[in-house]
């Protein structure tokens, strides 16, 4: 057990070494540049203190932890069942003490990168003693009013079975490599909507029965899959490969069957993803959008206007399915998955090519027999199953008029 007073004393001693003449971001830069001078035994104490924070996070069933930065007001914060809370029974930290704890998690190359770019995505793991298992986290270090802040998100230690996510059998077929050997499937949603969980469930689903080669390109790598029936490669951007685009292009020389792109976050990655799908591979990726139609519009809008017609046509040719999801507060105080599912049929293809994406929502609405589902239809299902409240159904819908129409008929 880490003595809290010992850790606090170490933090205060380190902070006192900052030259008084340094102000603002230069004080954090000093801590980044001198981190190697901290004695190893003190680094261990600070690491153990942080691991204690993470243990508490797991036991409170929190998804995220926030450390440092002006906005924290000296507290550690957590997101517990969807709600941000300051943890008042934790050790309080000054902005610079918190910066020391964050910097102590990084290696030399990561500190240099953070100093230059002012942002760093990385992964972190530690041994959770109670279960004697390694727990992984996705982390983002960044600056908040010249102070260093950290968000860390827990990565599920186990993968949810794809069947438990309650997809229609035809939607599962569309995402299955055994059924359709090529094409692009998107998992979309805002931050914290469970996209990675769904993506990992899809990977695990194939790993159980599909003798294929799966290449995962992500920033950072979250859940680590063990090869079972499939052989699975994990390539972390910034560590194993320089960029998403490079990872996608290089994967073509690695004999893949399925390519998983953690996020299509820029035009180069979008174009590379469409190109590699066009060569006959099964591709899965994510987007930060809140509906299936918005996802299509976002992909086209991301590229140069001169390229948009070409991208629209290519997208129509390679897109297989779009799942857009949200995590909705449930009546038991936790969260439940609500999703919108688009399966690309000839009518959807024509709407994409003709830039008539506004018509697609009604195609989804009327496409239940093909495995399609609007978010509003799924919210209605969850409400009727008494999993969510009426207020949550309305609040989390994309189309307020439509949700009120279908709920008024109940």
Question: pLDDT per residue over 254-270, tens digit each?
Answer: 999 999 999 998 999 99
What's the rounded mean pLDDT across residues 177-181?
94
| Burial (CB count <10 Å: 0-12, 13-18, 19+), residue 20 | exposed
For 316-374, the pLDDT digits (tens) are 999 999 999 999 999 998 899 999 999 999 999 999 999 999 999 999 999 999 999 99
241: which DSSP letter? B
User: Quick one: tokens of 14?
Assistant: 């380190």
Model confidence pLDDT, tens digit, residues 290-315: 999 999 999 999 999 999 999 999 99
- pLDDT at 1 exceeding the cut of 60: no
| Mean pLDDT, rounded, for 182-208 | 94
Instruction: Tell me the C-alpha to C-alpha distance, in Å, between residue 198 and each of 59, 100, 212, 336.
Output: 23, 35, 19, 13
CB atoms within 10 A of CB 269: 22
Q: Is the pLDDT of residue 2 over 80?
A: no
Q: Is the pLDDT of residue 156 over 90?
A: no
**DSSP code for 253:** T
- Classified as helix, coil or strand, 132 is coil
Structural domains in the chain, CATH included, are: 4-154 (3.30.450.90), 162-408 (3.40.50.300)
pLDDT score recorded for residue 130 = 86
The pLDDT > 90 percentage for the chain reads: 85
Sheet holding 133-144, edge to edge: 83-87, 76-80, 62-68, 147-154, 133-144, 119-128
Instruction: Give, to the nearest 10 degrees, the angle between helix 292-302 and helix 308-318.
Output: 140
Give the start-end residues of each E strand in 43-146.
Answer: 62-68, 76-80, 83-87, 119-128, 133-144
Please, which residues have CB within 8 angstroms of residue 137's CB and are 6 or more apart in sequence?
A: 54, 123, 124, 125, 152, 153, 154, 155
Give residue-wise pLDDT tens across range 89-107: 999 999 999 999 999 999 9
Tokens 């102000």, residue? 23
Full DSSP string of 269-321: HHHHHHHHHHTT-EEEEEE--SSHHHHHHHHHHHS-GGGHHHHHHHHHHHEEE
Mean residue pLDDT of the chain comes to 94
Return the exposure string of 137-164: e unless at least 16 CB atoms fall within 10 Å of the residue's CB, then b.
bbbebbbeeebbbbbbbbbbeebeebee
Taking the chain, what is the end-to-end CA distance rounded to the nearest angstrom?
55
Helical ranges in 151-291 per DSSP H: 169-175, 195-209, 244-251, 267-278
Q: What does the pLDDT read at residue 333?
A: 87
Q: pLDDT (tens digit, 9 = 90+) per residue, 13-36?
A: 999 999 999 998 999 999 999 999
Q: Decide if 320 contacts 329 (C-beta within 8 A).
A: no
Judge whether residue 410 has pLDDT over 80.
Answer: no
């Amino acid at each position: 057990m880490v003595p809290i007073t010992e850790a606090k004393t170490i933090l205060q001693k380190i902070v006192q070494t900052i030259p008084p003449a340094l102000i603002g971001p230069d004080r954090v830069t000093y801590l980044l540049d001198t981190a190697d001078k901290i004695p190893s035994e003190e680094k261990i104490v600070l690491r153990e203190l942080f691991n204690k924070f993470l243990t508490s996070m797991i036991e409170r069933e929190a998804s995220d932890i926030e450390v440092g930065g002006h906005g924290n007001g000296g507290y550690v914060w957590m997101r517990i069942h969807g709600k941000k809370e300051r943890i008042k029974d934790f050790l309080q930290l000054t902005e610079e003490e918190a910066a020391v704890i964050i910097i102590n998690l990084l290696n030399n190359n990561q500190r240099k990168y953070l100093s230059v770019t002012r942002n760093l995505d990385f992964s972190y793991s530690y041994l959770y003693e109670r279960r004697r298992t390694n727990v992984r986290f996705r982390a983002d270090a960044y600056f908040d009013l010249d102070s260093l802040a950290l968000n860390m998100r827990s990565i599920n230690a186990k993968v949810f079975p794809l069947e438990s996510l309650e997809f229609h059998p035809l939607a599962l077929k569309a995402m299955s490599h055994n059924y359709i050997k090529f094409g692009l499937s998107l998992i979309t949603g805002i931050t914290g909507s469970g996209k990675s969980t769904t993506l990992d469930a899809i990977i695990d689903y194939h790993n159980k029965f599909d003798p294929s080669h799966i290449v995962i390109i992500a920033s950072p790598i979250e859940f680590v899959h063990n090869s079972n029936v499939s052989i699975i490669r994990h390539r972390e951007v910034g560590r194993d490969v320089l960029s998403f685009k490079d990872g996608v292009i290089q994967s073509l020389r690695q004999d893949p069957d399925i390519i998983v792109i953690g996020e299509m976050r820029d035009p180069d990655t979008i174009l590379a993803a469409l190109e590699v799908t066009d060569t006959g591979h099964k591709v899965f990726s994510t987007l930060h959008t809140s509906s299936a139609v918005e996802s299509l519009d976002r992909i086209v809008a991301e590229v140069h206007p001169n390229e948009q017609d070409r991208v629209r046509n290519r997208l129509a040719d390679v897109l297989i399915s779009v799942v857009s999801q949200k995590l909705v507060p449930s009546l038991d105080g936790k969260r439940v998955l609500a999703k919108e599912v688009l399966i690309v049929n000839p009518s959807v293809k024509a709407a994409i090519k003709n830039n008539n994406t506004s018509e697609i929502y009604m195609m989804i609405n009327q496409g239940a027999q093909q495995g399609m589902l609007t978010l509003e239809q799924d919210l209605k299902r969850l409400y009727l199953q008494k999993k969510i409240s009426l207020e949550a159904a309305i609040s989390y819908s994309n189309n307020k008029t439509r949700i009120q129409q279908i709920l008024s008929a109940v």
